[in-house]
Structure 1
Amino acid sequence: METLGRSNAVREYFGDRYDTVHRYAQMLLDQGELRGLIGPREMPRLWERHILNSAAVVPYLAEARSVADVGSGAGLPGVVVAIMRPDAEVLLVEPMERRTTWLLEVVEELELSNVVVKRGRAEEYGGAFEVDAVTSRAVGALSKLVRVSMPLVRVGGELVLLKGRNVRDEFDAARKVLRKFGAGDPEVLPGKTIEGVEVTTVLRVERRK
């Protein structure tokens, strides 16, 4: 379960952020299943399917100084983003109280001074703040994500989403809502981390007006 997480490849990938990422992964291993954050079958694949999968979005957030993670849940990818980008403000938006309780504990335990946890649905925060980028993982269909998340993105900012490999199948259903929110054409990008770990799919959409 921990072999990949302790490998040289993972240590090198995360560099000076490795210790903090490892502590977060250990919190998930210790409490994730018990608190209903991650299913039991996912635990042996935590590093590959969740930690590294979340990290794959970070290179596409290089220009962002503020990031909102919508439907943050266990903190994937938001906590991983916050650890890897200590220079960026990261807002974790999550409606469920038990999950926001967990997120607050993680922020305190890992001393993440760049994180703010916001309890509520993304649509409740439209007009309350704008960020350079909104990310999310396994939250819903593209049409829904654009509708609830794009109002949080400043003009010139981006949605940078972790999606399944068949995300192009969602484009037609999302076309109308993309136009409504002044979005550009969706761009499908490779989310690479370390050798031997499956490349994930990143979808980037710019808000143009």
Structure 2
Amino acid sequence: MNDASDPALRAELDAGLAALGLDAALAPPLLAYLALLARWNRTYNLTAIREPRAMVSLHLLDSLAMQPFARGVGSLADLGTGAGLPGIPLAIALPSLQVTLVESNGKKARFLREAVRTLGLGNARVAESRAEALDQPGAFDAITARAMATLADLLAAGAHLLRPGGQLLAMKGARPDAEIAALPAGWHMAAVHPLAVPGLDAERHLVVVERAPT
């Protein structure tokens, strides 16, 4: 595996950050996270993606593509975060965002705690729990998930975590019109934002779901 300090890897990340309008100063902590993930992945199989250049686009830049819509959000719960995606890149890019990384798998939760400690992320914490069992009702401005379950399933698992007026920010591939049509009563699609991920030739959308007006 190429080292995460490879200059070509840094150049690719710098170009991606520039394309997203983000500061190149984010590159060192993002690459430190990538190096930690690669090291743990050899033993714990945290992600099926092992090639570093693929990790830059499919993990880091894919997660950061949604950051304009997380700006101004005070607190975010990342449900089923796995290796910390999108929560850790968002916490690195948005220091004012308080991120709770929700993960029930013990090995992944151990990695997340080590990543938060090693990277010095004072705005991130780990909740080793299934989303539906997390006992923090109304604690978050937003919940998110990256290609985990349907919109209806995400709401079933995590809607109790949202404060009044809170939003589900769901990262999807192709525009999920069937899922939007199947939203449960009391919820509606507020917006669908196409996302352009540098280095990724695939559809990405961010679906914003809110409680329906009464």
TM-score w.r.t. structure 2 length? Answer: 0.85
Structure 1 CA distance, aligned partners of 2:178 and 2:52?
29
SS at match of 2:43: coil
- Is residue 156–residue 208 contact of structure 1 (8 Å, CA) maintained in 2? no
Q: Which moved more, 1:197-206 or 1:57-66?
A: 197-206
Structure 2 CA distance, aligned partners of 1:30 and 1:107?
15
- Is residue 82–residue 112 contact of structure 1 (8 Å, CA) maintained in 2? yes
2:180 counterpart of 1:171: yes
How far did residue 192 of structure 1 move?
2.7
Structure 2 CA distance, aligned partners of 1:40 and 1:61?
25
Structure 2 counterpart of 1:185, from 156, 171, 189: 189
Q: Which moved more, 1:57-66 or 1:121-130?
A: 121-130
Please name the residue that 1:124 is paired with.
133
Equivalences for 1:65-84 in 2 at 5 Å? 65-84=74-93
What are the superposed Cα offsets for residues 12-60 of structure 1, whole Å, 9 maximum, x if unpaired? Answer: 4541222111111121223224311111566541111111111111111
Moved over 4 A (4+): 40-44
Q: AA paired with 1:165? A: A
Q: AA paired with 1:6? A: A
Please name the residue that 2:11 is paired with.
6
Structure 2 CA distance, aligned partners of 1:110 and 1:14?
19
**CA gap 1:197/1:40 in 2 versus in 1, 3 angstroms:** closer
Please name the residue that 2:57 is paired with.
48
Equivalences for 1:82-101 in 2 at 5 Å? 82-101=91-110
How far did residue 129 of structure 1 move?
4.6
- Is residue 156–residue 206 contact of structure 1 (8 Å, CA) maintained in 2? yes
SS at match of 2:85: coil
**CA gap 1:41/1:117 in 2 versus in 1, 3 angstroms:** closer
- Is residue 162–residue 203 contact of structure 1 (8 Å, CA) maintained in 2? yes
- Is residue 76–residue 97 contact of structure 2 (8 Å, CA) maintained in 1? yes
Which 5+ residue runs of structure 2 have no aligned equivalent?
A: none
- Is residue 141–residue 163 contact of structure 2 (8 Å, CA) maintained in 1? yes
How far did residue 4 of structure 1 move?
4.6
Q: AA paired with 1:9? A: A
**CA gap 1:203/1:40 in 2 versus in 1, 3 angstroms:** closer
Q: AA paired with 2:60? A: I
Which 5+ residue runs of structure 1 have no aligned equivalent?
A: none
Q: AA paired with 2:11? A: R
SS at match of 1:109: helix
Which has a greater percent of helix?
A: 1
Q: How many residue pairs get matched?
A: 203
- Is residue 191–residue 202 contact of structure 1 (8 Å, CA) maintained in 2? yes
Structure 2 CA distance, aligned partners of 1:104 and 1:14?
26
Structure 1 counterpart of 2:123, from 88, 108, 114: 114
What are the superposed Cα offsets for residues 145-185 of structure 1, whole Å, 9 maximum, x if unpaired? Answer: 1111222111212111111214113223x33x2x2xx3222
TM-score w.r.t. structure 1 length? Answer: 0.87
2:171 counterpart of 1:162: yes
Q: Which moved more, 1:4-13 or 1:136-145?
A: 4-13
- Is residue 4–residue 10 contact of structure 1 (8 Å, CA) maintained in 2? no
How far did residue 87 of structure 1 move?
0.8
